[in-house]
A and B are shown apart, each in its own frame.
Chain A
């Protein structure tokens, strides 16, 4: 048999929502069967009557506490629960809550909060366009670091950006410098009179590193993505980037660096550049074309700056036999450049980014003869970080390749700068030393970076040299040095 307890509290007030909460809290008290704490409005009196309570007369400004409990002994506890719940309702739950502003969930929201600016997109490739379009909609330039973006999506976003006067740097754009600020994998250099347009991240970094060594500053290096000069994309971002650099009065000379472009696109872009006020030099990789170091030397000549001697570290290693050049790269353009140089004397080089399709490697990445692997290629970065961040795959391959008696020389690259591993030599130097302890194979390294880079060019190069490698700042020079150690390779 339950007991009813009804009391009227004249003049007490709480709003109806608070009282619903109070009622719920009180109803949860042990021994309470039903509880309703409410202002005595007509509607609430009806509800209470509907619950079977008998009510004394009350006005809408009175509070009604109506309890149905197991027995009389529960009433004090139930009333205490009413008072506690009313007090809690007045005070607010736990004295408030977290008022921290939640982080934005989309690039559009972030740009709104930042009041504009540049967008930096590195989400998985399938979602990159969506985030990039937020920036393009907001009137912002965007750098798309993400790889594995379908080419038709790249074309779609670049077309829309072009129509709105905006620049898409990427996709798969690893490197940019805007106003001296490095984005993605970028080297620390002084600002200066040179502007770079790069359809190649590590190619751009090679130019930055060499110019820094020559004492020439770079204020802007606009990446455009490795496919920008392909037939499918047609150089859309390259032309926008050229416009931007041309319009900037602080930039006196521009250099365009690209992986091997589509011939007709290269021609169209060169024609476009010829119409600009600022001189533009093209360092477009390809068979029979000058390498990047040679192009930088030409640029220095254009600027009237003496070409320095490009530095090396370590002592030249001697041949231990073997017939094949084996290159293991993290930089796609550095790999391309090395293959182009080596192919002149060695002929076809097998690769996962082959210069021609018949040279393609299978998924096991092994073949007899000359071989160069780009560990930064899309096919090897799905579901894992770029090898400039996670070196595991290349280190494994280094051990295998060095032990292979066919290997005459191992050619490696190390790329420094913002975004790259904090201390790449810490992993690579011991791996080189271990490989050479097992088989005294010559290891030649192109170490691309500047003294001001977070990792420090000299410190990294010296650590690699101490492990027995011969280290060069110029990738072309490193490649030629490696070729000299391969039978049939020539200087």
Chain B
């Protein structure tokens, strides 16, 4: 791209000044508007890698392509079906949130969810008996949702009999998947596995899943990307507030639910369940985000983050220009508000694939769109505005289809740039639920969390390594 620059005898319309203020002041004194950068040294040990990556001739176009591919995706809800059918998941195979992890290192909520899922699949009668099963590891396997085109909130455990939403990009036919949302409180994804939890899962398998499958098929593809855009106009940020999205999905499905072949009482139960669960749409939002981000994967030279995910022990990111490699560090404790008697000592470190929403520019990145829940940020609406604006400092672009009204319809900050994070030290802001650290407890609160800082310099080092290898080749 060549651009026409103003003639050198024309004064610049504006100057962006970074570094010593005296130069900015001197220009300003000559009546040229100056935008000053609040520059700080980059994260420790990143200076050389930042320069290497910045000078990579592929980088700019690779990042622009990554963002374009992501924004070109239309995520359509096209179906609901069991994981066994959709992913070929077999008995004894379990998916989980976050980067790969072995049983020995799993946290309480992930353990609880796996134990519950094992009982749900009939591998054991009593969830407690599943511990031996997972310790032995001979009849069971653990694999990240992300490795199968799926995402799961919190523990993110998926087993073959669970029903999943199917999101599809009509232009390419690519698909992503996510389980159905169980509601709040004592639920499997927060590590609870009581009888009540298992009973609900069975009902979802036997009634809700088939009913939704029928309704989604009858409704035809539902545009989740468009619903996400509308949600941001209606006070949702699509991670911790999905109220408007849930209602819009209900609105689209209602006629088809009413006409379904299932008994009216069952339909009414489904309505009551979905209507009573403000987070129901989260499990559509997440795979919609993943579908978009997956389009940006594997672009050589791109420094864009394509996944942020946590398994309750590790926080991992994947980057477009480094393939399927995970860069991981210890998951952090969220700072937030607690339910009931629970306190910080009861909370498990950060868990879940739901940070895919922030990776896509919503959730914590779109806090400004959701003033109703800004107290998670520690207080005020201005904080939320500042958070959303601050996130734009670490992204490559904006999403014009997801404008935020209160920011004068600026698009959601889109495409986290590993380099920008290392340069500014600004970490992605994630809104999250908090699971109890003991298996079986369930949700204990909600709040804000960031990734462990060190995974970004690690990803940058890998990008720089590839850049050097390419230039030497």
Contact = CB atoms under 8 A, between A and B. Distances in A.
Interface stretch (A99-107, A263-271, A299-307, A342-350): A99-107
B51 interface: yes
Given A47-B340, A117-B15, A104 B35 contact: yes
A139 B60 CA distance: 11
Contact of A119 (B4, B16, B382, B386): B16
A122 B26 contact: no
A162 to B, nearest CB: 10
Interface in A57-106: 89, 92-94, 96-99, 101-106
B7 A123 contact: no
Given A17-B376, A34-B341, A102 B8 contact: no
B112 to A, nearest CB: 16
Interface residues of B, number: 77
Given A48-B340, A115-B14, A126-B51, A178 B8 contact: yes
Contacts of A17: 337, 372-373, 375-376, 446
Contact of A133 (B54, B382, B385): B54
Interface string A210-244: 00000000011010000000000000000001001
B8 A195 contact: yes
Interface stretch (A152-160, A428-436, A462-470, A477-485): A152-160
A15 B17 CA distance: 44
B160 to A, nearest CB: 29
B340 A50 contact: yes
Given A17-B376, A21-B337, A97-B379, A179 B12 contact: yes
B207 interface: no
Contacts of B38: 102-105
Contacts of B424: 105-106
Contacts of B445: 20
A459 interface: no
Contacts of A179: 6-12
Given A106-B420, A418-B30, A116 B13 contact: yes
B389 A146 contact: no
Scoring B184, B375, B420 by chain A CB atoms within 10 A of each residue's CB, the highest score goes to B375
B473 interface: no
A118 B392 contact: no
Contact of A181 (B12, B22, B385, B423): B12
Interface in A103-129: 103-111, 113-124, 126-127, 129
B18 A97 contact: no
A389 B22 contact: yes
Contacts of B27: 120, 181-183
A250 interface: yes
Contacts of B13: 114-117
B247 to A, nearest CB: 16
B36 interface: yes
A184 B420 CA distance: 27
Contact of A107 (B18, B22, B183, B338): B18
Name the residue among A17, A46, A101, A165 with the largest chain B CB count within 10 angstroms.
A17
B340 A145 contact: no
Contacts of A103: 36-38
A51 B340 contact: yes
A123 B39 CA distance: 8
Given A51-B340, A120-B18, A245-B8, A129 B24 contact: no
A124 B60 CA distance: 23
Interface residues of A, number: 92
A240 to B, nearest CB: 10
Interface in B373-409: 373, 375-376, 379-383, 385-386, 389-390, 392-393
B376 A51 contact: no
B8 A107 contact: no
Given A110-B37, A122-B20, A146-B19, A51 B382 contact: no
A419 B23 contact: yes
Nearest to A180: B11
A153 B185 contact: no
Interface in B245-264: none
B57 interface: yes
Contact of B32 (A23, A156, A164, A181): A181
Contact of A127 (B1, B47, B338): B47
Task: Among B9, B16, B185, find the residue whose CB has the most chain A CB atoms closer than 10 A.
Answer: B16
A333 to B, nearest CB: 20
B246 to A, nearest CB: 15
A167 interface: yes
B331 interface: no
Contacts of A241: 8
A120 B7 contact: no
A98 B40 contact: no
B29 interface: yes
A114 B33 contact: yes
Nearest to B445: A20
| Max chain A Cβ within 10 angstroms of own Cβ: one of B29, B35, B41, B392 | B35
B382 A106 contact: no
B30 A182 contact: yes
Interface string B186-206: 100000000000000000000
B55 interface: yes
Nearest to A95: B380
Contacts of A133: 54-55
Contact of A20 (B37, B337, B426): B337
A220 B37 CA distance: 25
B226 interface: no
Nearest to A94: B380
Nearest to A221: B8
A110 B7 contact: no
B268 interface: no
Contact of A156 (B48, B55, B184, B372): B55
A97 B3 CA distance: 41
15 contacts: A15-B372, A17-B446, A20-B446, A23-B337, A105-B393, A106-B393, A108-B420, A114-B13, A114-B35, A115-B13, A117-B13, A131-B39, A133-B54, A165-B5, A248-B8
8 nearest A-B residue pairs (beta carbon): A122-B19, A117-B14, A179-B11, A165-B2, A220-B8, A20-B337, A219-B9, A110-B16
